[in-house]
Amino acid sequence: MLSRRRGIQSVFISNLSPACVRCLCEAATECNNTFACIKGYCGPFYISKVYWIEAGRPVLDEDDPERTRAYEDCATDITCAARILEAYMVKYGRDCNGDNVTNCDDYARIHYHGGTKCESPLDENTFSRRYSRCRPGHYDGSTENLIHQLQCNYCIAEYVGLTTGTLRQQMNGHHFNSNHNNPDQPVALHA
């Protein structure tokens, strides 16, 4: 199913789940929503202007890609930045590690190395360490590295990511979609 939005086609991308997008954000900057632009990279996904251009120059609603700060404003807005990442993966998404599956491990390589150089493994660095802790399907036996998807019943706020405290702390007091017997049970638990 295709839909048009600000000049970018939204399509289903195999295995680019919300948990994967969140993990790529965690790997890049610990998903820091206040991360500005440093040395040519902007926002919580640490996106370069070249990456943005190759993704088709997505912009905030009602913005113009020709405007001087359109790239910076989109890349520093988490929702718009996720659209940049999605559009980039539409263009470059493929099996990079030779396991015959295109999944988050491939998207991490594409995001880190660029779409044309993803055959290279991730370097041993902060990005790869953060990614290995939160990657979908990873579970090291601790409760600290579980990926949860939580959603508020009232305001539709969502949290997809690592838990480092109680679920209630992760959502700052929000109510969760849950069963009646356990109000703190998450919507989904991926281990």
pLDDT in tens, 138-168: 644 444 444 445 555 445 555 555 444 444 4
Instruction: Please say whether the beta carbons of 82 and 45 come within 8 A.
Output: yes
- At 108, list the tokens: 């991490």
Instruction: Please say whether the beta carbons of 122 and 108 come within 8 A.
Output: yes
Where exactly are the structural domains of the chain? 3-134, 147-190
Instruction: Please say whether the beta carbons of 153 and 130 come within 8 A.
Output: no
- Give me the pLDDT at residue 150, please: 53
Flag the least confident range among 20-29, 67-76, 99-108, 136-145.
Answer: 136-145
- Give me the pLDDT at residue 177, please: 41
**CA proximity to 130, closest of 43, 23, 45:** 23
d(CA 160, CA 17): 10
For residue 26, is pLDDT > 90?
A: yes
- Give me the pLDDT at residue 136, please: 80
- Give me the pLDDT at residue 135, please: 87
Angle at 162 between CA 165 and CA 109, to 5 degrees: 160
Flag the least confident range among 101-105, 125-129, 149-153.
Answer: 149-153
Instruction: Please say whether the beta carbons of 48 and 115 come within 8 A.
Output: no
| Buried-state track 36-64, b at ≥16 Cβ within 10 A, e below 16 | ebeeebbbbbbbbeebbebbbbbbbeebe
- When the pLDDT of each residue in the chain is averaged and rounded to a whole number, the result is 77
Backbone angles phi, psi at 160, to 5 degrees: -125, 115
Domain 3-134: top CATH class = mainly alpha
Determine what percent of the chain falls in helix, strand and coil, rounding each to the nearest 5.
Answer: 30, 15, 55
d(CA 15, CA 125): 24
Q: How many CB atoms lie within 10 A of CB 110?
A: 23
Flag the least confident range among 46-55, 95-104, 168-177.
Answer: 168-177
- Give me the pLDDT at residue 160, please: 53
